[in-house]
Amino acid sequence: MAQTLFELNFNSINTSVQAGDAVFHINNFSSIGDINYSSETHWFFGIVHSVNENKLLVLHNTGNRYPSVGDYIMFAKDTAVNTSGVKGYYLSANFANDSKDKAELFSVGSEVSESSK
């Protein structure tokens, strides 16, 4: 399948978008209050080739649907490269309360990923 570079222009771009991220779009997306609605599912558009200020250059498979003006554009990281969670052999956390009022810590949680053996 042929691939082309397609330019997407925005007023502002999320600072964590980088080359290699997958780009998706949703047609007929609208938001009412805290609830988001869409008449369609998301569509894969391509892979980010480069980010330049408020422009994304996307490596696009010509068989994929093109986004329209007003579509909601989102991105996803490559999970093989960009993992989440705390990495390392140990973690130390300190909690301090400088208030003179009584304070109670209900819960502390963490997600840990093994980084090496």
Domains of the chain, by residue range, sit at 3-76
Is the pTM of the predicted complex or chain greater than 0.85?
no
Q: Using an 8 Å Cβ cutoff, are 3 and 49 in contact?
A: no
- Average pLDDT estimate for 43-50: 90
- Rounded to whole angstroms, the Cα distance separating 16 from 20 reads 12
CA atoms within 13 A on the CB side of 36: 9
Return the residue matching tokens 């599912």: 41
- Rounded to whole angstroms, the Cα distance separating 22 from 18 reads 9
- The residue that leads in pLDDT, 56 or 63, is 56
Give the pLDDT confidence score for residue 87 in this predicted structure: 57
* Residue pLDDT, tens place only, 74-109: 888 877 766 655 555 666 788 888 888 888 888 888
